[in-house]
Amino acid sequence: MFSWWQAIILGIVEGITEFLPISSTGHLILSSRLLNLPPSEFLTSFEITIQLGAILAIVALYWRSLLMNWEIIKRLIVAFIPTALIGLLLYKLIKNVLLGSTTVVLWSLLLGGIILIIFELLHKEKPQAVNEVGRISYRQSFIIGLFQSLAVIPGVSRAAATIIGGLLLGLRRKTIVEFSFLLAVPTMLAATGWDLIQSASSFSADQFGWLAVGLVVSFVTALVSVKWLLNYIQKNTFVAFGVYRIALAVFFWWLVIK
Mean pLDDT of 88-93: 74
Is residue 219 a contact partner of residue 54, using CB atoms and an 8 Å limit? Answer: yes
Q: Is residue 13 pLDDT above 80, yes or no? A: yes
Return d(Cα 187, Cα 152) in angstroms, integer.
Answer: 11
What is the model's pTM? 0.86
Q: Give Cα 113 to chain centroid, integer Å.
A: 15
Least confident range of 20-29, 187-196, 217-226, 242-251: 187-196
What's at 57, amino acid-wise? A
Q: Is residue 14 pLDDT above 90, yes or no? A: yes
Predicted local confidence at residue 201, as pLDDT? 74
pLDDT digits (tens, 9 = 90+) for 209-254: 888 999 999 999 999 999 999 899 988 999 999 999 999 999 998 8
pLDDT digits (tens, 9 = 90+) for 119-157: 999 998 888 888 888 899 999 999 999 999 988 888 889
Continuous H helices in the chain = 4-17, 24-34, 41-49, 51-68, 70-89, 91-96, 102-122, 138-149, 158-168, 173-199, 205-232, 239-255
Return d(Cα 135, Cα 132) in angstroms, integer.
Answer: 5
The number of folded domains in the chain is 1
Q: Is residue 178 pLDDT above 80, yes or no? A: yes
Predicted local confidence at residue 169, as pLDDT? 95
Question: Which domain does 241 fall in, by range?
Answer: 4-255
Computed over every residue of the chain, the mean pLDDT equals 88
Predicted local confidence at residue 16, as pLDDT? 95
Mean pLDDT of 24-39: 88
Q: Is residue 18 pLDDT above 70, yes or no? A: yes
Residues, the chain? 258
